Amino acid sequence: ASEEVCRPFPAQKLCKQDLPGDGYIEPNKTLRENNVSKSGKFSVGLPITMMITGMVGNSLALMLVYRSYRKKENNRKKSFLFCIGSLALTDLFGQLLTSPIVIYAYLADKKWETMDPSKILCAFFGVCMTTFGLCPLFLASAMAIERSLAITSPHWYSIHMKTSLTKQILVVILCLVLIFALLPIAGVGQYTHQWPGTWCFISIGDREDPGMFFAITFAVLGIFLLLVTFSCNVVTIRGLIIRCKTKSGTSHSAKQWERLTTETVIQLLGIMCVLLICWAPLLVSFCESFSPSPSPDIQLECKLFLFTIHLASLNQILDPWVYLLLREILLRKFCQVASAVSKCLRKTKKNNTCFTV
């Protein structure tokens, strides 16, 4: 049985019934060798592709932010650009610090205990995964709060929201997340290598294990940040629609405001969809791991957990597109098409005809 078990969370109670001794899963040589020989060459393509696409997207976002930041004189726009730049930089560093380790472990067919006998690399990898996983969620929440304040309380926002304050908030977020990620180094929680042995992350043991506090806090914190982001974005969308209705008319400013509202609403909906798709499966899998009921298929659970990690990592690739690049490249085109279709429909109602192809 020990050659078939591949729990994503080592030392979890569900494995004790299948393993001799104390129930702790030691590095599985047979399972690791079989997985590398059968699917290692295929699997390594995914982390390589994700690293390259993430580096390209975040680098483009950083260049665009830098160029726009130098031109902008409005402090409000500078604060937003600074947040976007921080998010792109965080995602870029997260990929540069973790992806090469995973790729090397795949290509070299290194067992983690051989590659990292002192477990220092595992701790470093776990800290990076936690830090650069939570930072984008915190930054997304901060930007969602910033947008909602700008729409619902524009007077207060213009007085109190300065670029210097934005920088201070971002530094505080980074420091708090880093302190939280370092808690397992201080003995609160634990980072252990995960199946198939090419990466490390938070370990979940017995429910009575003090380390469970760290894992539970991570899951609760992630869910809370998602709820804050969703709530603030909904408030922003509602405020934009209300203001757009009050400014309705045929003037140039009214049309410009309508176009800006459409672009922003589409962007916010895209952000919420990306966050939900990327993070909800991982957070749900964490919550399910706290359940006392055993899993009927351990192998399937391992693969599903690895899939949820890939989805969460995908958020680092999609962030620059949903926050900046797609708005610059595609949203304007989409709005132009929507405007053309709207005009066509209005003409159809009047003349019962439209353009012909």
CA 270 to chain centroid:
13
Helix (H, G, I), strand (E, B) or coil at 193: strand
The total domain count for the chain is: 1
Supply the CATH number for residue 198's domain. 1.20.1070.10
pLDDT of residue 284: 86
Whether 162 is covered by a domain: the verdict is yes
d(CA 77, CA 83): 10
Give 263-277 as a 3 state SS string.
HHHHHHHHHHHHHHH
Please, are residues 129 and 177 in contact by the beta-carbon 8 Å criterion?
no
Instruction: Identify the sign of the CA torsion 225, 230, 235, 236.
Output: positive
Whether 189 is covered by a domain: the verdict is yes
Closest to 114 in 3D by CA, of 201, 2, 193, 20: 193
Please, are residues 47 and 30 in contact by the beta-carbon 8 Å criterion?
no
d(CA 187, CA 210): 9
Residue with tokens 């399937």: 300
pLDDT of residue 180: 95
Please, are residues 301 and 8 in contact by the beta-carbon 8 Å criterion?
yes
pLDDT of residue 331: 52
Which amino acid, 184?
Answer: P
Whether 15 is covered by a domain: the verdict is no
Whether 264 is covered by a domain: the verdict is yes
d(CA 323, CA 273): 12
Whether 155 is covered by a domain: the verdict is yes
d(CA 130, CA 115): 21
> Terminus-to-terminus CA distance in the chain, angstroms?
66
Q: What is the dihedral of CA 70, 315, 328, 153, to 10 degrees?
A: -70
d(CA 166, CA 346): 44
pLDDT of residue 207: 56
Q: What is the mean pLDDT of each run of 10 residues along the chain (357 residues)?
A: 41 36 37 38 76 92 84 68 88 92 82 82 94 93 88 81 85 94 90 84 68 86 94 89 72 68 78 90 80 63 84 90 70 57 59 42
d(CA 302, CA 356): 55
pTM: 0.78
Q: Which residue range forms the structural domain that includes residue 241?
A: 43-330
Whether 287 is covered by a domain: the verdict is yes
Instruction: List CB contacts of 64: < 8 A, sequence separation 6 or more.
Output: 324, 325, 328
Whether 111 is covered by a domain: the verdict is yes
pLDDT of residue 195: 79
Tell me the backbone φ, ψ of residue 196, rounded to 5 degrees: -95, 30
Burial 117-140 (b: 16+ CB within 10 A, else e): eebebbbbbbbbbbbbbbbbbbbb
Six token digits for residue 140: 């997304």
Please, are residues 78 and 163 in contact by the beta-carbon 8 Å criterion?
yes
Whether 274 is covered by a domain: the verdict is yes
Closest to 319 in 3D by CA, of 35, 122, 56: 56
Q: What is the dihedral of CA 192, 196, 197, 199, to 10 degrees?
A: -60
d(CA 130, CA 184): 11
